[in-house]
Amino acid sequence: MKKIVSFIKNERQFILFIVIEVVLSLAFYHNLPGKIAVHWDASGRADGYLSKIYGAFFVPAIHLVIYWVFYLFPRIDPQRQNYLKFISNYKITRLLLNTLFLTIQILLLASAQGYSFNISKIVGIVISIIVIVFGNIMGKLRFNYFLGIRSPWTLSNEKVWRKTHRMAGPLWLIGGIVILIFTLIGGHLFFYGVLVDAILLALIPTIYSYFIYRYMDKGEKEKQ
């Protein structure tokens, strides 16, 4: 019993988000239509639907899975001792994800009840803020196997990890601002702009980690 109480006490700020999502679904369930829009194109037009029961609860269900995944990361990671070195930023990351899921759930339920708005634009703004905030904390992430730029070279050398994330932090901050700009512009430019931006945010740090690794490896060989 003490373990359960301790678990709830430590995790209450994260569990609360899921509880709110479920409560909202239950509260408005009787007002929901038979089919609920769950996907929208870049212009904000609904183009994907689920039945009432699945549409009302699929976001909390996915959120619950993601919650447990992020709860377990620090407990199963071979480098779990390093999480204590960036635990506050890890909590910020979890809160950012929780905020995203709750936002999507609120927008989904509001849309199902007839409220008209561009859900793609709102979600795009939220995502851009998340990317900007994550860019600010990326340089503080310590070596681990789950969160951050996980290339073969960052995972094989802690110095490469550190240098790569210090470079990627400002890059992601700029990338988040770019996503925000494309989101506000909207239309097809939003879709392609965000797609290219996301690819670059993943690709550039990966390539950088490779060259840093090669440079450091070359330096070590020259010393020998």
- Does 68 score more than 90 pLDDT? yes
Evaluate whether 137 touches 166 at the Cβ level (below 8 Å): no
Percentage of residues in the chain with pLDDT exceeding 90?
66
Report the candidate in 65, 62, 60, 85 with the shortest Cα–Cα distance to residue 74.
85
Q: What is the mean pLDDT of residues 17-27?
A: 95
- Write down the pTM of the prediction: 0.86
Tokens standing for residue 155:
């995972």
Alpha-carbon gap, residue 132 to 95, rounded angstroms: 14
Evaluate whether 33 touches 112 at the Cβ level (below 8 Å): yes
Place of tokens 């690794």: 213
- Does 221 score more than 80 pLDDT? no
Domain count, the chain: 1
pLDDT, tens only, 132-189: 999 999 999 999 999 999 999 999 999 999 999 999 999 999 999 999 998 888 777 7
Alpha-carbon gap, residue 176 to 113, rounded angstroms: 31
Tokens standing for residue 140:
């503080």
pLDDT, tens only, 30-63: 988 888 888 777 666 777 788 989 989 999 999 9
Report pLDDT for 37: 82
Evaluate whether 222 touches 177 at the Cβ level (below 8 Å): no
Evaluate whether 84 touches 151 at the Cβ level (below 8 Å): no
Q: What range does the domain containing 133 cover?
A: 2-223
For residue 51, the cross-strand partners are 35
pLDDT tier at 117, thresholds 50, 70, 90: confident
Alpha-carbon gap, residue 34 to 135, rounded angstroms: 41
- In the chain the first and final C-alpha atoms are separated, in Å, by 58
- Does 77 score more than 60 pLDDT? yes
Report pLDDT for 217: 66
